[in-house]
Structure 1
Amino acid sequence: MKTKLFTLIFGAILFASCQQKEMKISRSDFSVVTEMTDFSPAYIIKNEEGKVEIKKNSLIGNTHWVLSVDRDLTLNEVAPFLQELTAKKHKKGGMHEDTKDIYMVYSDTVHKQNACVKMPFKSFALGEQPVYELGEGVQSLLLKSVADAKNTFDKTQTYLVRIDKNISVETFVNILIELEKQNVSENVNSEVYVN
């Protein structure tokens, strides 16, 4: 009787675990941040109905928010969630200013470890960038691929960034990693346009 009960319970656990969908996070060959304390997680996934959704019940104010996002989603699919999260994280005028950042988790396949990269943008604007004359020391930068982020950057300039909405989340994460490698994350405008 015990053997049958054990087999039944083991079979139910095995069946349930096979039904769960595994999240595929972005991949890279470089680690930006490998250790972090004082963080809370959120997940952006495509559910069984094919709709993109966010699981953010664990987000705690004034902690770093670490986002695990399915790498096959497009930036267009996740940008509304990034817009919502950055607005909440970096809102002005609250009782207590949130001094922590938003990170995206990915897998460093060379060093076989998970790592995180900070999102340098404090807000996401969905749609076309307004047309206006750029001031001295400001350049417009359109990013459609990782190669676009490997440009030679002038560290005295501020970059107003536009990102192609059709790129994958994995490409977006690798663009953020490349901006860190080039040491220009601090030179990008806090608002990014996704179109």
Structure 2
Amino acid sequence: MIMKTKLFTLIFGAILFASCQQKEMKISRSDFSVVTEMTDFSPAYILKNEVGKVEIKKNSLIGNTHWVLSVDRDITMNEVAPFLHDLTEKKHKVGGMHEDTKDIYMVYSDTVHKQNAYVKVPFKSFALENQPVYELAEGVESLLLKSVADAKNPLDKTQTYLVRIDKNISVENFVNILIELEKQKISQSLNSEVYVN
């Protein structure tokens, strides 16, 4: 009996130690909820591993469901952009047998209402190179987003915006920019391709 108790204590202690060693993901924070409920979705996780390398865990992504990304808020856009490039390319590929009609969302914590919330990623493609320099057509403007303040500037809903995201901003900053664009109802005026540089 004493041997069983010691074995149980040893196993329980090992499980407790292992669970304490797991790193808790810190998702982005905001004070506003865009979407509070999500159905028909599959999750993916983008985080830094033990050696500080950014990696994605996407084993459970299913086609034609919304993809909900939990991303460590301290990762920079430069680090996450290659994963967003690959995910959007896979999600929105043209010419596939079955069109995927669902979207990609990022989950964040609404700290005021103490709940998780979701914001849609309005871009269908993430370009990793510099935005080409050319004369913009009438009704098209270039928009560089480095902070939420840039997204709060009065934007004209009749324009189409070619968006560039500063590669040095954090994912938390990016999520809050997306939230601000949703608040202004300007997401529909954004070009489907975004440049991260």
Normalised by the size of structure 2, how large is the TM-score?
0.97
The alignment status of 1:167 with 2:172, answered yes or no, reads no
Query: Among residues 132, 144, 161, which one is paired with 1:142 in the alignment?
Result: 144
Paired position in structure 1 for 2:20: 18
For residues 153 and 18 of structure 1, what CA distance do their matches in structure 2 show?
47
AA matched with 1:97? E
Displacement after TM superposition at 1:50 (Å): 1.3
CA distance in 1, matches of 2:5, 2:117: 43
2: CA distance, partners of 1:176 / 1:131: 25
* Alignment partner of 1:85 is 2:126: no
Which stretches in structure 1 are left out of the alignment for 5+ residues? none
The share of aligned pairs that are identical, in percent, is 88
Question: Counterparts of 2:55 and 2:9 in 1: how far apart (Å)?
Answer: 36
Please tell me the residue identity of whatever aligns with 2:56. I
Spell out structure 1 runs of 4+ moving beyond 4 A. Answer: none
CA deviation vs aligned residue, 1:138-183 (integer Å, no higher than 9, x gap)? 1110001011000111111111100100000000000000000010
- Picking from 74, 85, 110, the partner of 2:112 is 110
CA deviation string 1:90-139 (max 9, x = no partner): 00001100000000000000000001100000000112100111111111
Shift in Å, 1:7: 2.0
Give the count of matched residue pairs: 195
- C-alpha separation in 2, matches of 1:170 and 1:36: 20
Q: What amino acid maps onto 1:103 in structure 2?
A: Y
Show the counterpart of 1:29.
31
User: For residue 131 of structure 2, what is the aligned residue in structure 1?
Assistant: 129
Deviation at 1:6, TM superposition (A): 3.1
* Equivalent-residue separation in structure 2 for 1:94 and 1:79 (angstroms): 23
Unmatched runs of 5 consecutive residues or more in structure 2: none
For residues 126 and 97 of structure 1, the distance between their equivalents in structure 2, rounded to whole angstroms, comes to 25
In the TM superposition, 1:40-55 aligns within 5 A as 40-55=42-57
Tell me the SS of whatever aligns to 1:24. coil
Give the match for residue 6 of structure 2. Answer: 4
Q: Distance in 2 between matches of 1:115 and 1:9?
A: 37
Instruction: Output the amino acid matched with 2:123.
Output: F
One-letter identity of the residue aligned with 1:182: Q
Deviation string 1:24-44 (CA, Å, 9 cap, x unpaired) is 000000001110110000010
Counterpart of 1:140 in structure 2: which amino acid? Answer: S
Amino acid at match of 1:37: T
Distance in 2 between residues matched to 1:128 and 1:4, nearest whole Å:
62
Offset of residue 10 of structure 1: 2.1
Q: CA RMSD in A?
A: 0.8
SS at match of 2:191: coil
Calculate the TM-score normalised by the size of structure 1: 0.98
163-172 vs 2-11, greater mean Cα deviation: 2-11
Q: SS in structure 2 opposite 1:97? A: coil
